[in-house]
Amino acid sequence: MATDQIVTRSAPPGERPEAVEPKRASASRLPSLTGLRFPAALAVFLHHSFLPIPPLRLLADDGTADRLAGWFTQAGGLGVSFFFVLSGFVLTWSAREKDTAKAFWRRRYVKIYPMYVVTWALAVSLFAMYYTSVGVAIANLFMVQVWWPEYMTNFSVNAPSWSLAVEAVFYLAFPMLLAAFRRIDTRHLKYWITGAIAAVVATPALAYALFPSSPGIPSGHESSVSQYWFSYVLPPVRMVDFALGILVALAVKHGRWRNIGMVWSSLLLAGSYVLTFHVPYLYGQRAVMIVPIVLLIAAAATADVEGRASLFRNRTMVWLGEVSFAFYLLHYIVLCSLRWALGEDQMFSTTTTIAMLVGAALASVLMSWGLYAWIENPLVRRYSRSRRAGIN
């Protein structure tokens, strides 16, 4: 790409990180970040697998179900926040200097919407038609289900698709955001990053202060529907996560980022996840984990550009990352279909449930491979380039 291709090299404490030219990785391809997409998607899978709600629950009520639900209660928030920040980072990293908004929007549309429609149709035909109104189904189809505080609308049809409806707003705003953020003096990026993090941390406080505390969300966590919607779902609020990814990518590219490495970033993320169990629910959704998420994404990008070792750059992880978008959209359909096929009332032991969930995960991966190979990748190759303008 035409912008500065600069990253930071780790420096001893007290010294400013050294800006270096990338040597071993393409400036626009970051395989470790591709590889990291699958663990993030798997976190969302685990969250949904143990949600104590009738369309998903498989475990008998012997205490184990509640413990597992507790362990993974914030895994969905972790995965979604990771994807939102990652999206801003990767789009900025791969942005082309002479790109147009129209060309960018075309690529995003071809990449996202056909798969969204296919999985929407699968969910409607397999189970959602039985309890979803036509109006709500159409709202989902046109990606507007996230704009009003109704839990059963926000997460209707294919529940994970709400985040794609939010991402669609990010994509519409990205050309303008990137143009504005590129005007920031690189020496001041740290202040903007700090401000964005502060805004993320302040969001739950605003939600608790401004919105009523009832009615509660169906999963039983300590949050009302309107508080949860404002803090976790509303696109302008989640835009801060996306903007943070843009700002961090610019800081890394211009040598204004202090890299602490993937090991320390991962340890901090694990520690922050444990901390989510000890703070109010909405703080655990994203505020507690946002800094380690940012650190890990920046560290993985730096590892790729500097040619450092990375567990997520191998062929298997990159392949899993490539099919992770399809996996993210398919896994809930697989889980709901499994519960539907087994009957609503029958519950299972821990061993049987885990075996079925492993099977569901593997089935989701295989189906995702098919959708990636037969729909996503061919459509992107065929239609992301404008034949008239010759623009990718």
List the chain pLDDT tens, one digit each, 392 residues. 333 333 334 444 334 444 433 344 445 589 999 999 999 999 999 999 999 888 899 998 878 888 998 999 999 999 999 999 999 999 999 998 888 999 999 999 999 999 999 999 999 999 999 989 999 999 999 999 999 999 999 999 999 999 999 999 999 999 999 999 999 999 999 999 999 999 999 999 999 999 999 998 887 678 999 999 999 999 999 999 999 999 999 999 999 999 999 999 999 999 999 999 999 999 999 999 999 999 999 999 999 999 988 999 999 999 999 999 999 999 999 999 999 999 878 899 999 999 999 999 999 999 999 999 999 999 999 887 765 544 33
Neighbouring residues of 281: CB distance < 8 A, sequence distance ≥ 6: 221, 222, 223
For residue 203, what are the domain limits?
A: 23-383
Give the per-residue pLDDT at 159. Answer: 96
Give the per-residue pLDDT at 19. Answer: 41
Any domain includes 41: yes
Domain total of the chain: 1
Task: Provide the sign of the torsion angle of the four alpha carbons 145, 151, 157, 159, taken in this order.
Answer: positive
CA 115, CA 88: separation in Å to the nearest integer?
A: 20
CA angle 218, 223, 225 (to 5 degrees): 60
Give the per-residue pLDDT at 299. Answer: 97
Structure tokens at 172: 């519409």
Neighbouring residues of 200: CB distance < 8 A, sequence distance ≥ 6: 240, 241, 244, 286, 287, 290
Any domain includes 293: yes
Q: Which helix (H) or strand (E) holds 62?
A: none
Any domain includes 323: yes
Q: 139: exposed, middle or buried (C-beta count within 10 Å: 0-12, 13-18, 19+)?
A: buried
Give the per-residue pLDDT at 345. Answer: 82
Give the Å distances, CA to CA, from 160 to 8, 118, 157, 276. 35, 14, 9, 21
Give the per-residue pLDDT at 96. Answer: 84
Give the Å distances, CA to CA, from 254 to 14, 184, 358. 19, 12, 43
In three-state secondary structure terms, 20 is strand
Give the per-residue pLDDT at 15. Answer: 40
Any domain includes 375: yes
Any domain includes 211: yes
Neighbouring residues of 57: CB distance < 8 A, sequence distance ≥ 6: 51, 65, 339, 347
CA 299, CA 30: separation in Å to the nearest integer?
A: 11
- Cβ of 62: how many Cβ atoms within 10 Å? 11
Give the rounded distance of the alpha carbon of 159 from its chain centre: 14
Question: Whose CA is closest to 168, among 108, 255, 226?
Answer: 108
Any domain includes 329: yes
Contact 259, 299 (CB under 8 A): yes
Q: What is the DSSP letter of 278?
A: G
Burial 217-251 (b: 16+ CB within 10 A, else e): beeeeebbbbbbbbbbbbbebbbbbbbbbbbbbbb
CA 161, CA 143: separation in Å to the nearest integer?
A: 8
Any domain includes 391: no
Type of residue found at 41: A
Any domain includes 1: no
Neighbouring residues of 337: CB distance < 8 A, sequence distance ≥ 6: 126, 127
Q: What is the DSSP letter of 59?
A: B
